[in-house]
Copies of this chain bind each other. A is one copy, B any other.
Amino acid sequence: MAKLTMVQALNLALQQEMRNDDNVIVLGEDVGLDGGVFRVTEGLIQEFGEERVVDTPLAESGIVGMSIGMSLYGLKPVCEIQFSGFTYQNFHQIENHAARFRWRTQGRYTVPMVLRSPYGGGVRALEHHSESREAYWAHMPGIKMVIPSGPRNARALLVSAIRDPDPVIFFESKALYRAFREEVPEKEETLPLGKSQVVREGKDLTLIAYGAMMRPTLEAATELQEKLGVEAEVIDLLTVSPLDDTLFVKSVLKTGRAVVIHEAPRSFGAGAEIVSRLMEKSFYYLEAPIERVTGYDVVIPLYSREKEYLPNAHRITRAAKKVLAA
């Protein structure tokens, strides 16, 4: 097994799926010779040619609208939108069409496309390059919104997303792209979409997060253990929507306490839905109000201040303590 960064792991997933299935087409801005601005598609054009690795004109609605058309013909386009801050240019194509063709035609036509896009802060980028707006996509019936948290699950989830018969928005944390390596088996590995995972067991408190926030969350769990002897159970959603509430509900039924973490702005963010599910399914077991540790309700600041905007282990620990003290 090779130790891969998330970029390399995603690249492996694309390469293998393209080898497996000539319906899989990669397209987007600079995905060809340039290998994508983060190099996730590196080397693909050399192996699969311009026919299957398609540099497009600079137009996001074009990329997504064309991907929808390709899907309707039976292909499996994996398009890249260079930064999630520019997925709004194609918002209508997803809302009005990708999400609805199956429903609209009662199953006759489907849109098995994947829209990959780097999301989130932490890489000292320009404006619009640090956005975290998964809640928009999570609220869209017909769409799956997936966010991996490390090289191995990124690879497995991307393979599943490509094979999935429905449209998947696949957000990749820029901060995780090269942050660490993991063993990623050469052999095919998939993870089911719409299933969360318990990544650390514990009985005192439940921490629920996804994507880039898994790292500070796990750090906080370790700190809680080491400094306070508190055993936090940690849940990685992996898929934000359709939201799998089984594991985190089960966990809170046991712990009675929870903290929800995301880097997106707090209000009307994904965390609110998690809190609401817990309200509905674990109310009588709750020992304390659930805390949210999130980005603030402002545009994520330019990079000199982004560290203070983004949730970190300290803020999570602090929230956990508050929940534990209640």
Contact = CB atoms under 8 A, between A and B. Distances in A.
Nearest to A94: B88
Q: How large is the interface on A (under 10, 10 to 19, 20 to 34, 35 or more residues)?
A: 35 or more
The quantity of this chain's copies bound in the complex is 2
A139 B96 contact: no
A89 B92 contact: yes
B142 A299 contact: yes
Contact of A276 (B96, B128, B276, B288): B276
Interface string A280-304: 1001101011111000011100000
B96 A128 contact: yes
A72 interface: no
B279 A139 contact: no
A271 B279 CA distance: 12
A244 to B, nearest CB: 12
A299 B268 contact: no
Given A88-B92, A127-B104, A135-B139, A241 B268 contact: yes
Nearest to A270: B268
Interface string A79-103: 0000001101101100110011001
B88 A95 contact: yes
Contacts of A272: 268, 272-273, 275-276
A-B interface, 4 closest residue pairs, ranked by CB to CB distance from nearest: A88-B92, A283-B289, A272-B272, A139-B268
18 contacts: A85-B96, A88-B92, A96-B128, A133-B139, A135-B135, A136-B136, A136-B139, A139-B268, A242-B267, A242-B297, A243-B267, A243-B268, A268-B270, A268-B273, A276-B276, A279-B279, A280-B289, A280-B291
